Amino acid sequence: MDSLLMKEKPIGSLAGIPIILAVGAAFAGMSWYLLSAISAASITPASFIAALAVVVVGIFFFAGLYTLEPNQAAVLSLFGKYVGTVKDPGLRWNSPFYAKKRISQRVRNFESGRLKVNELDGSPIEIAAVIVWQVMDASEAVYNVDDYESFVHIQSEAALRAMATSYPYDQYAKKRISQRVRNFESGRLKVNELDGSPIEIAAVIVWQVMDASEAVYNVDDYESFVHIQSEAALRAMATSYPYDQHEEGQISLRSHPAEISEQLKRHLDERLTQAGVDVIEARISHLAYAPEIAQAMLQRQQANAVIAARSRIVAGAVGMVEMALAELQKNGVVQLDEERKAHMVSNLLTVLCSDRGTQPVVNTGSLY
């Protein structure tokens, strides 16, 4: 855009008075010569050609004359191409092939119409202004805008309208800010948790304005700011933790609600402190896998639960078998060799680890 803007380029011009005198002298001399030749009957075709040439040259020079008043500029162009700007007042001369557009650089003024706008507090007001202006760059006035006078009027009203909406009508205007405790529930956000699985999450935020001046002047709309920043903090926090813990002591969204709420509150405090807002409480109100993977993740949770339960059963069964063997040996109830111990361990583990009731088989033929 900037490369298309025209910048003023001064150009020289010749004084017009000497040119008029020179052309007048040439006309007078040629007239005297022709009259003398006619009276002496010695005129020749060459004389007529010379006279015609003087007339053509004189017309050429006269066509290039123009006048400029003080504080007036002439913008010159040659076949549509900008050549330069002349600011010298008086009778001036430039090539007659140059198109000349005069631009006044005098100070001008006008009063805008009465505009009806809403000031900063939203109250409708009427406002008008007196604008005093002056063209400083004639080439920009001609070539950068279509009609510079109309442009000045329209842009002045636009600037006045924009300025009026940025300030209150009265310096003592009061803006009431509620400092009561408020709360809201964020919308359900669909994000990817730390492991990359899509989840749905929402939170309840309890907040209060602590510094009314910061709420008014540090942000444009503090209520909208609280809502948008709360969702941004919730989204950022959700991507930092897994949905389920995969190892002992790992913090996850589902298993550690207190820690997650504390982290969310900390994130919100960092974002909202500039708006004079204090976050009293932030807690997760909805947490679930996204519908498209919910069934698959439920099956994985069930499988993990079965594995964990089996691991605890096996660990408990091994402990019980060890205790049984130790008690039998300690009390001298029976003496078992290694083979019998192995057989007894196998039977006890089968009974203790089985997920359904066992049916005993009585061997009446031998001890084995």
Residue 20 has pLDDT above 60, yes or no: yes
User: What is the pLDDT at residue 300?
Assistant: 66
212 within 8 A of 168, measured Cβ to Cβ: no
Supply 161's token pair. Answer: 């309208």
Q: Beta strands of the chain (E only): which ranges?
A: 14-15, 65-68, 72-78, 81-86, 90-93, 99-104, 108-111, 115-118, 124-127, 130-133, 182-185, 189-192, 198-209, 277-289
- Closest by Cα among 72, 82, 65, 78 to 142: 82
User: What is the pLDDT at residue 302?
Assistant: 67
* pLDDT 10s digits, 188-221: 999 988 888 888 999 999 999 999 989 988 998 8
pLDDT-derived band at 177 (thresholds 50, 70, 90) equals: confident
DSSP 218: T
Say how far apart CA 108 and CA 56 lie, in whole Å: 42
DSSP helix/strand/coil, 285: strand
Say how far apart CA 161 and CA 173 lie, in whole Å: 20
Task: Look up tokens 């949905």; give the residue.
Answer: 243
How wide is the angle at C-alpha 311 spanned by C-alphas 309 and 312, nearest 5°?
Answer: 65
pLDDT-derived band at 104 (thresholds 50, 70, 90) equals: very high
β-bridge pairing 130-133 and 198-209: unpaired
Compute the mean pLDDT over every residue in the chain, rounded to the nearest whole number: 83
pLDDT-derived band at 40 (thresholds 50, 70, 90) equals: low
Architecture of domain 182-289: 2-Layer Sandwich (3.30)
Burial 38-71 (b: 16+ CB within 10 A, else e): eeeeebeeebeeebeebeeebeebeebbbebeee
- CB neighbours (10 Å) of residue 249? 5
pLDDT-derived band at 41 (thresholds 50, 70, 90) equals: low
Rounded to 10°, the helix 257-272/222-238 angle is 140
User: What is the pLDDT at residue 174?
Assistant: 66
Say how far apart CA 206 and CA 185 lie, in whole Å: 9
CA 167 to chain centre: 24
DSSP 70: T
Residue 358 has pLDDT above 60, yes or no: no
Residue 278 has pLDDT above 80, yes or no: yes
What are φ and ψ of residue 83, in 5° steps?
Answer: -105, -45
> What average pLDDT does this structure show over 158-164?
94
> What average pLDDT does this structure show over 265-285?
93
Say how far apart CA 6 and CA 141 lie, in whole Å: 9
Say how far apart CA 226 and CA 273 lie, in whole Å: 10
User: What is the pLDDT at residue 1?
Assistant: 45
- CB neighbours (10 Å) of residue 139? 23
Tell whether the torsion through CA atoms of 78, 80, 83 and 87 is positive or negative: positive
* pLDDT 10s digits, 224-245: 999 999 999 999 999 999 988 8
DSSP helix/strand/coil, 93: strand
90 within 8 A of 16, measured Cβ to Cβ: yes
> What average pLDDT does this structure show over 90-117?
91
> What average pLDDT does this structure show over 70-80?
91
The segment(s) of the chain belonging to CATH 3.30.479.30 are 182-289
Residue 126 has pLDDT above 90, yes or no: yes
Say how far apart CA 358 and CA 41 lie, in whole Å: 156
Provide the H-helix boundaries in 273-357: 291-331, 338-353
Q: Which residues pair with 78 in a beta bridge?
A: 81
